[in-house]
């Protein structure tokens, strides 16, 4: 069933504010994502109709095989042939240079096979062909205008440009095929064929570009991308890899890349390698991988290879501080000037003692911490090989690498921004359920928190009661003494330090001040017999005194939850008391009382009982379930077709392995620098923050959206996230869309320029426009820091489907980044959109 020709335009028009112009297809930006409200644009095909293709959003592309290192088959072909261009020819092109018409690229041509033969000679015979490599910069400097026809940027044709991965010369859509010919080594001008690529473009190798898809069709582009990745001329050259201070020789590089556990994604650079343990890292840095041991590579491992300063030595290398922490975690005695000998199986001994003391990889916690910090951990493959060496011989190296790759997602955000909720939802949706021990712990947390909420309410009640009675008393006194005029508002005259200590801080009004002094010095009896909406009976008052004393002395945690069951009836009575309900109505004045307090207190009897078992919602809404000052993580994988997936288990052995993900929730920014090499950063910001206050670690108050922005900025600036794409998850849209109708976005100084259009459409509501505006401000900020694109999505943490969709979006981003490096080449992202899109 063919879609109507302009269906995407219609769909887009519905999403954009009324009157907004439609962007060109080339300019479409897929980096803001939100929940589409309306009928599904993708029809579920009836089972009986196999002709209808599966929706493209339900099937995610399989990860492409690892690009580098090369697989052994390549190494074989490399030694057998020395030609650079003819060994892998993606397809043949015939080119009729007499026809000046633009290739049919705009429509209908996708998937067509272009027959442009012998392009090299034809291109060269063209009068313009001499400019092919002119003006090129070796360092990838961009040539202004098309390198062949000379057209400058700005017009439609120029926008879809392609760049040579050697010289950086750019060609407009019309000239790409003429300038690059059959592309036997990928996107290179014909004059650059056989020449090594510019290293700045290595990350671009094999990443599909939209322009090529339009010009050549998918099948051909795949072939071009494959040769671009695999042909000899584009590989790392031996002299570009220095190991232990020595440039590699050709056979050494072959040994390194052809071994069972090679370095991941080898780039030109300086490395150190410990052949006894297999540890491998960049010169001057911590180990990043354990590769195959006993390879004969480079020079001798130097003491200062990793720039360690710990006075603890491993196989002659002074180890780094992070390694020392790991050793301590593994309970290895590490006194200064200890010299260890570490073997490739993880066993270690002190030098010269000939006595194996243990195995550092034995503990799961050690392996976990190492993998969290992107540090070396022994690969399962290497371990399996030891057990069954023959079982792996037939498997390709790249396949193995794929299988064991775990995509790491780092979840960050200020307290209350929704991070814990998303983490808990991910655990419900994808990972295993909570264990009985975890459930017991959560139950105790919920019970304890519930009594704290009650304490906070009682404290507030006391404060509100004093305030109200004092006001009443003062107005009576004022009336008694016939003070002319109305009674001043006494609340202006004192600031509450705590409900039990009220201090006069102003005395603008001498009469009022006189009354206050009178009241405060003349005992509270003057309103002791009075009552107000916040007054309670003696029983509650006694409980209130007891609970508040417990809170003040810090003993509440020793009493609750142990005494929860015993005090449940009175707690229930208190919660239902009208005075407490009146207090709860003013909960925004009690900052430590979360909205979820009522959810739990409504069921105080049930929750206080020893038989109570927290439900999924209870866990979701409970505070403090995830560690507030540390790290939590879950590992999971999810399939393409359904929201719910299984843990990868024994049963899936025979199936295609699902990609694995590790979600790491980081509550404390002090660890941030340790998280290099994350696949994606998920940063949560609550949309309602624009109207909230935040107290920083120094006790200073500021707008919470501004605090979130500053936090985001500090994260984006870290060098450890240089290559990490970020997805901004904007939470609490459900609350925000109503709140924005009452309180304008301009209450936040950073967002004061928001200028909404007055329209009445589903997707042009004030909330929707404001969400876009905030997203755009964050994108702007991120681009100014990193020059890259920030992905944005709204999430409702309380809905599993919304969280699931956010993770699916994150997965698409990882795919795009892997195939298109959208972020790094953001300046030309119009031609680097995913093939899948
Ligand atoms: N309405 C609504 N509430 C949300 C949403 N996301 C989170 N919340 C609530 O916001 C509060 C704070 O949630 P989180 O930020 O996840 O909690 P946290 O402060 O990071 O961590 P803990 O307090 O330790 O649980 C909780 O009461 C959540 O139920 C959302 O999208 N919509
Ligand atoms: Mg919290």
pLDDT tens sequence across 549-564: 888 888 888 888 888 8
**Cα 550 to ligand 2 centroid, rounded to whole Å:** 22
Supply the pLDDT for residue 629.
61
- Name the average pLDDT for the chain: 72
Ligand closest in space to the Cα of 803: 1
**Cα 708 to ligand 1 centroid, rounded to whole Å:** 15
Q: Tell me which of 35, 415, 421, 802 to substitute to probe ligand 1's pocket, judged by most ligand atoms within 8 Å of the beta carbon.
A: 421
Residue nearest to atom 28 of ligand 1 (CA): 621
More confident residue, 502 or 54: 502
More confident residue, 614 or 497: 614
pLDDT higher than 60, residue 572 = yes
Check whether 759 is labelled as a binding-site residue. no
Of 653, 667, 633, 616, nearest to 800 by C-alpha is 616
Q: Which fold has domain 410-430+638-831?
A: Rossmann fold (3.40.50)
Check whether 626 is labelled as a binding-site residue. yes
What's the rounded Cα separation, in Å, for the pair 59 and 812?
Answer: 11
**183 phi/psi in degrees, rounded to 5:** 55, 55
Ligand closest in space to the Cα of 794: 1
**Cα 296 to ligand 2 centroid, rounded to whole Å:** 53
What's the rounded Cα separation, in Å, for the pair 773 and 647?
Answer: 38
Residue nearest to atom 18 of ligand 1 (CA): 416
Confidence of residue 18 (pLDDT cuts 50, 70, 90): low
Cα radius of gyration rounded to whole Å, the chain:
33
Ligand closest in space to the Cα of 625: 1
Which two structure tokens, joined as six digits, stand for 295?
Answer: 């390879």
Check whether 383 is labelled as a binding-site residue. no
Handedness of CA 443, 444, 446, 451 (dihedral sign): positive
Supply the pLDDT for residue 825.
35
Q: To which residue do tokens 């200064």 refer?
A: 336
Question: Of 167-171, 228-232, 394-398, 428-432, where does mean pLDDT reach its minimum?
Answer: 394-398
Check whether 112 is labelled as a binding-site residue. no
| DSSP-derived 3-state class of residue 683 | strand
What's the rounded Cα separation, in Å, for the pair 412 and 684?
Answer: 6
Closest ligand 1 atom, residue 421 Cα? 16
Closest ligand 1 atom, residue 621 Cα? 29
pLDDT higher than 80, residue 728 = yes
Check whether 834 is labelled as a binding-site residue. no
**241 phi/psi in degrees, rounded to 5:** -115, 115
Confidence of residue 690 (pLDDT cuts 50, 70, 90): very high
Question: Of 11-25, 232-246, 353-367, where does mean pLDDT reach its minimum?
Answer: 11-25
Residue count of the chain? 837
Check whether 77 is labelled as a binding-site residue. no
Contact 793, 774 (CB under 8 A): no
Which residues, including other chains, have CB under 8 Å from residue 54's CB and lie 6 or more apart?
45
Percent over 70 (pLDDT), the chain: 64
* Kind of pairing between the strands at 660-666 and 631-637: antiparallel
DSSP for 691-727, written as a single string: G-EEE-TTS-EEEHHHHHHHHHHHHHT-GGGTT--EE
Ligand closest in space to the Cα of 667: 1
Ligand 1 first shell, C-beta below 6 A = 415-421, 594, 596, 621, 623-626, 628, 731-732, 734-735, 796-798
Check whether 627 is labelled as a binding-site residue. yes
Closest ligand 1 atom, residue 667 Cα? 20
Q: Tell me which of 414, 418, 596 to substitute to probe ligand 1's pocket, judged by most ligand atoms within 8 Å of the beta carbon.
A: 418
Question: Of 168-182, 225-239, 631-645, 688-702, where does mean pLDDT reach its minimum?
Answer: 631-645
Ordered by start, the domain boundaries in the chain are 72-234, 238-404, 410-430+638-831, 437-621
* Kind of pairing between the strands at 501-504 and 631-637: unpaired
Contact 172, 106 (CB under 8 A): no
Beta bridge partners of 662: 408, 635
**Cα 418 to ligand 1 centroid, rounded to whole Å:** 4
**Cα 416 to ligand 2 centroid, rounded to whole Å:** 4
More confident residue, 404 or 1: 404
**Cα 374 to ligand 2 centroid, rounded to whole Å:** 28
**Cα 623 to ligand 2 centroid, rounded to whole Å:** 6
More confident residue, 751 or 322: 751
What's the rounded Cα separation, in Å, for the pair 416 and 407?
Answer: 26
What's the rounded Cα separation, in Å, for the pair 813 and 679?
Answer: 9
* Kind of pairing between the strands at 32-33 and 791-795: parallel
Domain 437-621 - what CATH class? mainly alpha
**Cα 498 to ligand 1 centroid, rounded to whole Å:** 27
Contact 266, 68 (CB under 8 A): yes
Check whether 672 is labelled as a binding-site residue. no
What's the rounded Cα separation, in Å, for the pair 65 and 226?
Answer: 10
Ligand closest in space to the Cα of 591: 2
Question: Model pTM?
Answer: 0.56
pLDDT higher than 60, residue 165 = yes
């Amino acid at each position: 069933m063919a879609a109507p020709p302009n269906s995407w335009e219609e769909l887009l028009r519905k999403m954009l504010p009324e009157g907004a112009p439609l962007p060109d297809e080339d300019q479409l930006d897929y980096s803001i994502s939100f929940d589409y409200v309306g009928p599904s644009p993708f029809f579920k095909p009836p089972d009986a109709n196999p002709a209808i293709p599966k929706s493209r959003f339900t099937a995610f592309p399989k990860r492409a095989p690892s690009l580098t290192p090369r697989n052994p088959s390549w190494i074989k072909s490399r030694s057998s042939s020395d030609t650079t261009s003819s060994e892998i020819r993606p397809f043949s092109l015939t080119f009729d240079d007499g026809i000046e018409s633009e290739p049919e690229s705009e429509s209908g041509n996708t998937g067509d096979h272009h027959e442009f033969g012998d392009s090299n000679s034809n291109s060269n015979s063209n009068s313009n062909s001499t400019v092919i490599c002119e003006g090129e910069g070796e360092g990838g400097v961009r040539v202004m205008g098309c390198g062949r026809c000379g057209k400058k940027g700005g017009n439609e044709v120029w926008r879809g440009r392609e760049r040579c991965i050697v010289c950086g010369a750019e060609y407009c859509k019309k000239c790409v095929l003429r300038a690059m010919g059959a592309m036997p080594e990928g996107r290179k001008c014909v004059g650059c064929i056989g020449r090594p690529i510019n290293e700045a473009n290595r990350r671009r190798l094999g990443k599909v570009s939209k322009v090529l898809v339009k010009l050549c069709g998918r099948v051909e582009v795949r072939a071009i991308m494959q040769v671009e990745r695999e042909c000899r001329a584009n590989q790392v050259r031996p002299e570009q890899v220095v190991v232990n201070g020595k440039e590699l020789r050709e056979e050494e590089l072959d040994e390194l890349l052809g071994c069972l556990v090679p370095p991941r994604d080898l780039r030109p650079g300086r490395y150190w390698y410990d052949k006894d343990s297999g540890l491998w890292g960049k010169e001057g840095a911590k180990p990043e991988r354990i590769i195959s041991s006993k390879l004969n590579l480079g020079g001798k491992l130097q003491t200062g290879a990793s720039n360690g300063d710990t006075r603890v030595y491993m196989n002659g290398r002074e180890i780094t501080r992070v390694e020392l922490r790991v050793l301590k975690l593994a309970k290895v005695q590490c006194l200064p000037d200890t010299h260890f000998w570490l073997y490739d199986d993880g066993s270690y001994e002190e030098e010269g003692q000939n006595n194996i003391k243990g195995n550092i990889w034995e503990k799961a916690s050690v392996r976990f911490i190492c993998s969290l910090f992107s540090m070396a951990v022994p690969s399962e493959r290497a371990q399996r090989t030891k057990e069954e060496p023959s079982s792996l011989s037939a498997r390709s190296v790249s396949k193995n690498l794929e299988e064991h790759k775990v995509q790491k997602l780092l979840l960050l955000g200020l307290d209350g921004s929704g991070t814990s909720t998303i983490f808990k939802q991910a655990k419900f949706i994808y990972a295993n359920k909570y264990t009985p021990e975890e459930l017991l712990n959560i139950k105790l947390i919920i019970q304890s928190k519930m009594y704290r909420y009650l304490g906070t309410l009682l404290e507030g009640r006391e404060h509100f009661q004093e305030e109200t009675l004092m006001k009443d008393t003062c107005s009576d006194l004022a009336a008694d003494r016939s003070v002319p005029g109305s009674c001043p508002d006494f609340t202006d005259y004192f600031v509450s330090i705590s409900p039990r200590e009220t201090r006069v801080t102003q005395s603008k009004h001498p009469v009022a001040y006189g009354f206050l002094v009178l009241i405060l010095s003349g005992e509270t009896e003057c309103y002791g017999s009075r009552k107000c909406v916040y007054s309670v009976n003696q029983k509650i008052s006694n409980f209130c005194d007891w609970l508040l004393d417990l809170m003040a002395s810090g003993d509440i945690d020793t009493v609750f939850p142990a005494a929860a069951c015993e005090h449940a009836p009175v707690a229930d009575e208190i919660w239902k008391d009208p005075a407490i309900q009146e207090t709860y109505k003013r909960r925004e004045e009690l900052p430590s009382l979360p909205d979820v307090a009522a959810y739990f207190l409504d069921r105080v009897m049930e929750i206080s009982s020893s038989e109570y078992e927290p439900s999924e919602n209870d866990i979701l809404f409970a505070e403090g379930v995830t560690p507030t000052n540390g790290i939590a993580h879950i590992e999971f994988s999810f399939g393409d077709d359904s929201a719910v997936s299984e843990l990868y288990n024994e049963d899936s052995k025979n199936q295609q392995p699902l990609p694995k993900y590790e979600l790491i929730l980081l509550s404390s920014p002090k660890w941030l620098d340790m998280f290099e090499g994350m696949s994606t950063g998920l940063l949560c910001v609550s949309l309602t923050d624009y109207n909230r206050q935040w107290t920083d670690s120094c006790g200073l108050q500021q707008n919470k959206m501004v605090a979130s922005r500053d936090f985001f900025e500090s994260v984006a600036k870290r060098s450890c996230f240089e290559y990490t794409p970020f997805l901004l998850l904007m939470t609490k849209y459900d609350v925000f869309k109503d709140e924005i109708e009452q309180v304008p976005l301009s209450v936040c100084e950073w967002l004061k320029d928001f200028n909404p259009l007055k329209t009445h459409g589903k997707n042009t509501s004030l909330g929707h426009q404001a969400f876009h505006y905030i997203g755009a401000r964050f994108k702007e900020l991120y681009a100014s820091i990193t020059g890259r694109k920030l992905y944005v999505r709204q999430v409702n943490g309380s809905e599993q489907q919304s969280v699931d969709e956010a993770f699916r979006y994150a997965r698409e981003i990882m795919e795009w980044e892997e195939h298109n490096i959208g972020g790094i080449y953001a300046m030309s992202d119009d031609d680097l959109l995913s093939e899948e899109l």
